[in-house]
Chain A
C-alpha cells in the first residue's frame, strides 16, 4: 500500500474537458498559486499560498474551475 502523497491534494479542481488552456486563472490568481501544467491544464503549484479567494473560478470563462472545498485544515 502506498502512502498518500499530500502534495497532490488540491482543492482548486480544473475540469480538463472544459479547460481550453487560456491561462486566465494563472494570470489573475492574486497569490501566484497556479501554474500551467505540461498538459496545458493549470494546477496548484504553490498550494499553501491559496487564500481560497475564488478569483480563479470567477475569471474562468469556460466554467472549468471548481473550488471543490476550502483547504482541508479549515474545512
Chain B
C-alpha cells in the first residue's frame, strides 16, 4: 500500500475547539489557502467539547470586565509566571469569538450566552479576584456548528487520520506531516510550509486509581502528541513542572462541576460538612487545601448544593446532565445520589495531567501563537497560555489560523523530507512483530508509574526513579509492542508521547528548585516559594546533541503590576515519629547460609521437582 501525497498550505493537527477555529480563520483569511485538518476522530464529535460545553470560564465583556482584568486574574493564578501579553489578548479577543460562536452555531444573543437587563453578556464571579469573568453557555451542540463551518469553507478534512510524524526538511524547516487512517491504514504524506498544532493536552498521563484506562478527566484522544512533535521539531516547552491535579467527581472523573455550581452558590465541604477553602477556582492553592483535608483525616470532600433554591437545583441538573459529560446524571442515579443531600457529589483528585487550558504546561508560544520553530504554530490545550480554558482555544486557534495562512502565502516551496515509504515501514513495525507486548499493558505500565512517581507532593528520588522508568520503557518495552490493526497502531505513538512527556515533567520538576502553584509543584525538598524563581520559566528543549535539557528564562517584562501570589502558605510539616527500637548488632557472617551455598552452589535444589523419569513411566 503506497503513501498518498497531498500538497497543502496549512495543516491543522487536531480538529477540536482550537483546530476548527484555526481552519475556519485560515480559510477566511485566504480562501485560496489549502487547509488540511487531521483528527483522530470525526471532527463533529471529537475533542474535549464533542458533547458540548457549559461555559467560557474566562472572558472580558462590556459591563463586567476588561482585558486588563483578565491579566490581573491570570497574573495571580499563575503566580507571576506568564506572558501578560497573551493574557491580554485572551481578554481582548473574547468578545469577537463570542460573536463568532453565535454566527457559526446560528444562535442569537441571549440564547447561546445569557444576557443581563442591560443587554450585556451576563458574567459571574469565579476567579480569586473581584472581577466577574465567567460566562455561562448553552453549548450542547457547538462542535457540530464548528465542523459544519470547516467543511462548508472547503477545508480538506481527514477524519480518523491522526498525525503521527511532523516532517522537517534538511534545514529543520517545517515541511509537512505524515498521518494514517486508523480504520483503513491508508498513509498520507501532506506537504505544507505551515503546521498548526492543536492536538490537545497530555490527558492520558497519570492513571486513575479505579484502573480504567479511559476513565479520565480530559478527552482520551489527547495524549501529548503535539507536545512531543513540537519537541522533536526543535520547539521549546514550558511549565512542564506545573501538574494539573484536578478536583473531580470521584470515580466518574468528569468535572464535578464546580465551575457551574460555584457561580450559582455551591461550594466545597469536607467530610465534617465544613467549607474547607475560601474559593473554588482550580488554582494550586485550592488543590493544596484539598490535599490537606485528606492528610488531616477530613476527606472525602464534597461539592455542596443542597442549600440552593429548588429552581436553581433543577437548572443545575439540566445543565450538568445535558452538556459536556452527560452520563453524569445516570452515574448519580445508580449511586442513589441526589443534589438535595449535602454529601451527594463526592470529589477526589485523581490522575495528574499536563495541560495549559486548565493549568500552565505546554508548547512555548507568543501572543501570535508562534512557537520557536518558524512555520510551526500552536494553540489550545497544547500551547502554554496558562489557564486559557476553552476561550483560549477559540481565541488563539483563530490567531493561529490567520498567522499560518499569512505565513504560508509568503513561504517558498517546502524542502525535501525523509522518504515517506521508509517512515511508514518504521511506524508499521508493531503490526508485523510476533509474540510482542500488548499495547494496553504497556500503556498501563507507563501510566501507573507516572501516578506512583510523579503525583505531588513531589519527591526528588521518586522523580529520578521515574526517569529510570521512562528510559527503560522506551528502550525495552515500546520496541516490543505488537498490535493487530491500525486502531491500535496509533496507540504506540501515543505511548511514546506519554513516556516522553513524563520525562519532560520529571526533569522540569527537578530543575525548579522551589515550590510554586500550590500542590501543582509542591516539591518536598524545597517546600517554599523562592524569590529567585519569581517570573522565571523552566524551558524544556532538545539540545544540538539530541538530549533533553532544561533552562531558566525570565518571563517577558510585566506591563501591568498586579499581585503575583495567591493567599496561601506551604505547610510546615512536623513528621517526627520518634527514634524507633534499635536491636543489638547481629553477626554479619552466617555459617548456615555459607555452608548451604558451598554445598548446593547456585543450583535450585532438586527436591522440589518430581522424581526424574516419572513422566516417562506414566
Contacts and interface: CB of A to CB of B under 8 A. Distances in A.
A75 B336 CA distance: 12
B47 interface: yes
B210 A29 contact: no
Nearest to B216: A51
Given A30-B42, A32-B41, A70 B211 contact: no
Interface in A16-75: 27-32, 46, 48-55, 58-59, 67, 69-71, 73-75
Interface of B is mostly: loop
Nearest to A66: B330
B326 A54 contact: yes
Contact of B42 (A28, A51, A54, A70): A28
A55 B210 contact: no
Contact of A31 (B215, B220, B252, B330): B220
B44 A28 contact: yes
A70 B40 CA distance: 23
B183 interface: yes
A33 to B, nearest CB: 9
A49 B45 contact: no
A10 B327 CA distance: 15
Contacts of A69: 330, 334
A32 B183 contact: yes
Interface string B35-47: 0000011101111
A16 B439 CA distance: 32
B494 to A, nearest CB: 11
**Most interface-central of A48, A52, A73, A75 (chain B CB within 10 A):** A52
Given A49-B214, A67-B330, A54 B45 contact: no
**Most interface-central of A29, A32, A73 (chain B CB within 10 A):** A32
A11 to B, nearest CB: 10
Interface string B197-227: 0000000000010111111100111000000
Contacts of B496: none
B221 A30 contact: yes
B91 interface: no
Contacts of A32: 40-41, 160, 182-183, 487
B183 A30 contact: no
A51 B219 contact: yes
Nearest to B331: A70
Contacts of A52: 327
Contacts of B252: 70, 74
A67 B321 CA distance: 14
A30 B215 contact: no
B41 A58 contact: no
Given A28-B45, A32-B182, A55-B45, A70 B327 contact: yes
Contacts of B210: 73-74
A70 B213 contact: no
B50 interface: yes
A59 B143 CA distance: 13
**Most interface-central of B41, B182, B211 (chain A CB within 10 A):** B41
B541 to A, nearest CB: 32
Interface string B156-186: 0000100000000000000000000011000
A27 B215 contact: no
A32 B161 CA distance: 11
Contacts of A70: 252, 327, 330-331, 334
B45 A73 contact: no
B341 to A, nearest CB: 19
A46 B489 CA distance: 13
Contacts of A58: 51, 326
A51 B41 CA distance: 13
B45 A29 contact: yes
A35 to B, nearest CB: 9
Contacts of B50: 30, 53, 55
Contact of B212 (A27, A29, A30, A48): A48
Contacts of B440: 48
Interface of B: 40-42, 44-47, 50-51, 160, 182-183, 208, 210-216, 219-221, 251-253, 325-327, 330-331, 334, 440, 487
13 contacts: A30-B41, A32-B40, A32-B41, A32-B160, A46-B487, A49-B213, A53-B327, A54-B51, A55-B45, A59-B45, A71-B212, A74-B251, A74-B253
Closest 7 CB pairs of A and B: A30-B41, A73-B212, A30-B46, A54-B326, A30-B45, A74-B251, A55-B45
Interface of A: 27-32, 46, 48-55, 58-59, 67, 69-71, 73-75
